[in-house]
A and B are shown apart, each in its own frame.
Chain A
């Protein structure tokens, strides 16, 4: 066990040096780009915001059902199929009645693989809707995968919109990830007041232009909506002249005539045409601008607007006009997002945590080193050199993979320092026992290493198991802890079996004639 070939010594030294260099590169500015890696600091250390958003898919599902209902109605009318009582029940089931002699035919239409009306998902081997027939009543429920498809599509869309909105705010290096099929995780490093982002993400930003009507018996129907400031309400037609999709740009602006901040918008070709037509025929009417079910303003149309642009006024401050323009530019969310978890750490607390963590690490490290020196003298020095190099290896590996260091992660490093000496202690104690029965000290050292091996392996694997479970079950800062603890086990084993053993062998071979080496 004590013999090392020259090539092995070289490899061990080289390997160790690389990681020492990597560790130091965190503290020294280098021009060298290929090794210019740094440990990332977690949000708890550098400050920042963590938001977990959950999409409320209820409205999307209802919309899907309503669209399907319309498709079915059109389909039946085209095919001259008699149907009755076509409706949506409990916001989840489409039901309709068919005459008895047509049941088989309709069933086939809904269940064939290339059905237009009930798409078949090849990869899930299932239709969008599950069909149930009771007598002559058909019941269509979204299948499990039909629901998943809807959720995935709406989450993908929401993710894109969230990304656009946050990019527009301009925070540095935001991290936006999907979680499961109805959640989005947003990490905003360096942002200590997420108020504005929260406000922007909290709006669906569904914009529509509709006429205010007096008579409620319009063909499209109408609804009563409140003004945004809650001051009054108006009856608004359900017929949508324009919606947010027709906008290609929106900017905050100062209207010098009335000395008020407004949002001016530019429409696409289709939108401009429609807007022109509506304003031409609707002179004298009030046009309501509705955002998320509330009226922003409802100005009277004085002249036809054919230029493909316009402006929205509504008592904005410059900030609120900027935010509205941003929301309109980035588009509407498919469904509302709720913030279900928020964690924000200010930058000064982060810095305090770093200072406290580093201080605790230094002191803990010194205490362990002093203790080991008094306990084992020369071998204490060997154990301590190993421990220092172990620390370099650990930080070096974290740097190499640009891992994220969190406050619990620092605690993991300190704990590794405390526990890393265990392997050396096990070996040294074993050697002491072997020396009692073995005159030849070199053989005693050798068998000390060999016989302590199984205990060391088992002891470290059990800790590794705990670290791995933490890694897969934990989140954020806790994950950082499991990473340092887990990586620490590997660096400990390497440093004990290569570095410490190498140093031991050099010392023992040189002093083999001395009595009581350990």
Chain B
């Protein structure tokens, strides 16, 4: 039973326009709205508080914290009804008793019915370093992928894969900017994993394109990419589904701390699958890849 071939290539142009549009929106969001950096990258103090006393609510918590005159403070519910996340902007005073003083002041105003489950305090110097090393890590991984694909395939493939990767990373960050979701260290880890996953997906299709290029000399790259996408389609779908199943279970069951991380990964897997088909392949078409491109490689 021969499966019917889906004409992905008919929609190359349309989806390229959609992607260009989305990337442009993402870039302008990143430039004009920026990202919501967490304490890892902005510096400051984060406290996860659990209330054991049901008199404690977000209003009186916020009020007592504001009364301490510690500058910009944000309080929000964190998953569970009795859990709150408190964030202070950095005051550069290096007071080692900072947390202790907050605890004592809070006890005075709302009573002792709470505990600090997690405290993170990141100085301005460290946060700048963490941000820098995060950006370097992402750029380094893109460069490493570019280089690897260049060695294993040809530069046209390498370019196609990298453009697809940047597309995925930019749009994922764009979504985070749009919804004001927090960027912390684990998001950087997620972005790097997206780079790995998206690459993974692209490589499988490229591998088939290369194989088909050797096999058929008479089929134009425009149709050849479509054949290759179709031949690998069931694998693409199955792997995306199993990966998404795993990620969705982290998102819904893995606790609050992993929410942002798994969301970034879910977005990345969706965009990564899409871009392998609609970004990486059209670029091969655009660059007029033909049998000669890889035959030259064989001769070398």
Q: How far is the CA of A375 from the CA of B195 in the complex (A)?
A: 28
Query: With an 8 A cutoff between CB atoms, is A477 at the interface?
Result: yes
Knowing A473-B136, A481-B189, the reply to whether A462 touches B196 (Cβ < 8 A) is yes
Query: With an 8 A cutoff between CB atoms, is B59 at the interface?
Result: no
Query: With an 8 A cutoff between CB atoms, is B242 at the interface?
Result: yes
Knowing A52-B126, A341-B126, A414-B249, the reply to whether A429 touches B258 (Cβ < 8 A) is no
Knowing A344-B119, A346-B118, the reply to whether A462 touches B234 (Cβ < 8 A) is no
Q: What distance in Å separates the Cβ of B298 from its nearest Cβ neighbour in chain A?
A: 14
Query: With an 8 A cutoff between CB atoms, is B66 at the interface?
Result: no
Knowing A357-B255, A372-B242, the reply to whether A459 touches B115 (Cβ < 8 A) is no
Knowing A346-B117, A348-B117, A353-B255, the reply to whether A466 touches B141 (Cβ < 8 A) is yes
Query: With an 8 A cutoff between CB atoms, is B287 at the interface?
Result: no
Q: Residue of B at shortest CB range from A470?
A: B192
Knowing A346-B116, A426-B235, A478-B185, the reply to whether A455 touches B145 (Cβ < 8 A) is no
Interface centre among B144, B207, B252, B262 (most CB of A within 10 A): B207
Q: What distance in Å separates the Cβ of A484 from its nearest Cβ neighbour in chain B?
A: 11
Query: With an 8 A cutoff between CB atoms, is A62 at the interface?
Result: no
Q: Residue of A at shortest CB range from B243?
A: A418
Q: What distance in Å separates the Cβ of B25 from its nearest Cβ neighbour in chain A?
A: 26
Q: Residue of B at shortest CB range from A359?
A: B253
Interface SS, A side: helix
Query: With an 8 A cutoff between CB atoms, is A340 at the interface?
Result: yes
Interface SS, B side: helix
Whether B141 and A465, one on each chain, are in contact in the complex, defined by CB atoms closer than 8 angstroms, is yes
For A223, what are the chain B residues with a Cβ–Cβ distance below 8 Å? Answer: none
Whether A343 and B257, one on each chain, are in contact in the complex, defined by CB atoms closer than 8 angstroms, is no
Q: What distance in Å separates the Cβ of B244 from its nearest Cβ neighbour in chain A?
A: 7
Query: With an 8 A cutoff between CB atoms, is B188 at the interface?
Result: yes
Query: With an 8 A cutoff between CB atoms, is B241 at the interface?
Result: yes
Query: With an 8 A cutoff between CB atoms, is A108 at the interface?
Result: no
Whether A473 and B140, one on each chain, are in contact in the complex, defined by CB atoms closer than 8 angstroms, is yes
For A419, what are the chain B residues with a Cβ–Cβ distance below 8 Å? Answer: 197, 200, 239, 242-243, 246
Knowing A202-B96, A433-B231, A458-B152, the reply to whether A363 touches B48 (Cβ < 8 A) is no
For B186, what are the chain A residues with a Cβ–Cβ distance below 8 Å? Answer: 408, 477-478, 481
Whether A462 and B246, one on each chain, are in contact in the complex, defined by CB atoms closer than 8 angstroms, is no
- CB < 8 Å neighbour of B249 from A338, A363, A372: A363
Q: How far is the CA of A482 from the CA of B248 in the complex (A)?
A: 20
Whether A195 and B121, one on each chain, are in contact in the complex, defined by CB atoms closer than 8 angstroms, is no
Whether B196 and A465, one on each chain, are in contact in the complex, defined by CB atoms closer than 8 angstroms, is yes
Q: What distance in Å separates the Cβ of B22 from its nearest Cβ neighbour in chain A?
A: 23
Q: How far is the CA of A467 from the CA of B258 in the complex (A)?
A: 18
Whether B141 and A407, one on each chain, are in contact in the complex, defined by CB atoms closer than 8 angstroms, is no
Q: How far is the CA of A325 from the CA of B235 in the complex (A)?
A: 68
Q: What distance in Å separates the Cβ of A443 from its nearest Cβ neighbour in chain B?
A: 18
Q: What distance in Å separates the Cβ of B287 from its nearest Cβ neighbour in chain A?
A: 20
For B255, what are the chain A residues with a Cβ–Cβ distance below 8 Å? Answer: 352-353, 356-357, 360, 407
B residues 96-141 in Cβ contact with A at 8 Å: 96-97, 99-100, 115-123, 125-126, 130, 133-134, 136-137, 140-141
- CB < 8 Å neighbour of A407 from B99, B120, B257: B257
Interface centre among A357, A364, A461 (most CB of B within 10 A): A364
Whether A462 and B203, one on each chain, are in contact in the complex, defined by CB atoms closer than 8 angstroms, is yes
Knowing A202-B96, A478-B189, the reply to whether A462 touches B245 (Cβ < 8 A) is no
Q: How far is the CA of A338 from the CA of B232 in the complex (A)?
A: 56
Q: Residue of B at shortest CB range from A476?
A: B185
Q: How far is the CA of A361 from the CA of B262 in the complex (A)?
A: 13
Whether A469 and B192, one on each chain, are in contact in the complex, defined by CB atoms closer than 8 angstroms, is yes
Knowing A199-B96, A419-B197, A465-B196, the reply to whether A474 touches B137 (Cβ < 8 A) is yes
Query: With an 8 A cutoff between CB atoms, is B148 at the interface?
Result: yes
Q: What distance in Å separates the Cβ of B132 from its nearest Cβ neighbour in chain A?
A: 10
Query: With an 8 A cutoff between CB atoms, is A137 at the interface?
Result: no
B residues 185-220 in Cβ contact with A at 8 Å: 185-186, 188-189, 192-193, 195-197, 199-201, 203-204, 207-208, 211
Whether A469 and B141, one on each chain, are in contact in the complex, defined by CB atoms closer than 8 angstroms, is yes
Q: What distance in Å separates the Cβ of B246 from its nearest Cβ neighbour in chain A?
A: 3
Interface string of A445-472 (1 = CB under 8 A from B): 0000001001100111111111101100
For A343, what are the chain B residues with a Cβ–Cβ distance below 8 Å? Answer: 118-121
Q: How far is the CA of A257 from the CA of B123 in the complex (A)?
A: 47
Query: With an 8 A cutoff between CB atoms, is A349 at the interface?
Result: yes
Q: Residue of A at shortest CB range from B237?
A: A425
Q: How far is the CA of A478 from the CA of B133 in the complex (A)?
A: 13
Whether B235 and A467, one on each chain, are in contact in the complex, defined by CB atoms closer than 8 angstroms, is no
Q: Residue of B at shortest CB range from A368?
A: B242
Interface string of A274-292 (1 = CB under 8 A from B): 0000000000000000000
Q: What distance in Å separates the Cβ of B80 from its nearest Cβ neighbour in chain A?
A: 9
Query: With an 8 A cutoff between CB atoms, is A236 at the interface?
Result: no
- CB < 8 Å neighbour of B200 from A340, A356, A462, A481: A462
Whether A418 and B245, one on each chain, are in contact in the complex, defined by CB atoms closer than 8 angstroms, is yes
Whether A458 and B207, one on each chain, are in contact in the complex, defined by CB atoms closer than 8 angstroms, is yes
Whether B193 and A469, one on each chain, are in contact in the complex, defined by CB atoms closer than 8 angstroms, is no
Whether A411 and B145, one on each chain, are in contact in the complex, defined by CB atoms closer than 8 angstroms, is no
Q: What distance in Å separates the Cβ of B98 from its nearest Cβ neighbour in chain A?
A: 9
For A470, what are the chain B residues with a Cβ–Cβ distance below 8 Å? Answer: 137, 189, 192-193
Q: Residue of A at shortest CB range from B211?
A: A451
Whether A414 and B246, one on each chain, are in contact in the complex, defined by CB atoms closer than 8 angstroms, is yes
Q: What distance in Å separates the Cβ of A494 from its nearest Cβ neighbour in chain B?
A: 18
- CB < 8 Å neighbour of A408 from B94, B130, B145, B189: B189
- CB < 8 Å neighbour of B204 from A356, A359, A459, A474: A459
For B84, what are the chain A residues with a Cβ–Cβ distance below 8 Å? Answer: none
For A461, what are the chain B residues with a Cβ–Cβ distance below 8 Å? Answer: 148
Whether A418 and B117, one on each chain, are in contact in the complex, defined by CB atoms closer than 8 angstroms, is no
Query: With an 8 A cutoff between CB atoms, is B238 at the interface?
Result: yes
Q: What distance in Å separates the Cβ of A203 from its nearest Cβ neighbour in chain B?
A: 10
Knowing A52-B126, A349-B118, A469-B144, the reply to whether A415 touches B243 (Cβ < 8 A) is yes
Whether B100 and A195, one on each chain, are in contact in the complex, defined by CB atoms closer than 8 angstroms, is yes
Q: Residue of B at shortest CB range from A195?
A: B100
Query: With an 8 A cutoff between CB atoms, is A212 at the interface?
Result: no
For B181, what are the chain A residues with a Cβ–Cβ distance below 8 Å? Answer: none
Whether A371 and B242, one on each chain, are in contact in the complex, defined by CB atoms closer than 8 angstroms, is yes
Whether B245 and A425, one on each chain, are in contact in the complex, defined by CB atoms closer than 8 angstroms, is no
Whether A469 and B140, one on each chain, are in contact in the complex, defined by CB atoms closer than 8 angstroms, is yes
Q: How far is the CA of A459 from the CA of B272 in the complex (A)?
A: 13
- CB < 8 Å neighbour of A411 from B241, B245, B250: B250
Whether A364 and B249, one on each chain, are in contact in the complex, defined by CB atoms closer than 8 angstroms, is yes
Q: Which 9 pairs across A and B sit closest by C-beta, in order of nearness?
A: A418-B246, A466-B196, A356-B255, A364-B249, A340-B123, A473-B137, A418-B243, A463-B196, A360-B254
Interface residues of A (CB under 8 A from B): 44, 52, 54, 195, 198-199, 202, 338-346, 348-349, 352-353, 356-357, 359-361, 363-365, 367-368, 371-372, 375, 407-408, 410-411, 414-415, 417-419, 421-422, 425-426, 429, 433, 451, 454-455, 458-467, 469-470, 473-475, 477-478, 481-482, 485
Beyond A339-B123, A419-B243, A462-B148, list 5 extra A-B contacts (CB 8 Å): A342-B121, A365-B246, A408-B261, A466-B141, A481-B186
A-B contact pairs, 29 of them (CB 8 A): A195-B100, A339-B94, A341-B123, A342-B122, A346-B118, A349-B117, A356-B253, A360-B254, A364-B249, A367-B246, A368-B245, A375-B238, A414-B246, A418-B247, A422-B243, A429-B238, A433-B231, A454-B207, A455-B203, A455-B204, A458-B204, A463-B193, A463-B199, A463-B200, A465-B141, A466-B199, A467-B196, A469-B140, A478-B188
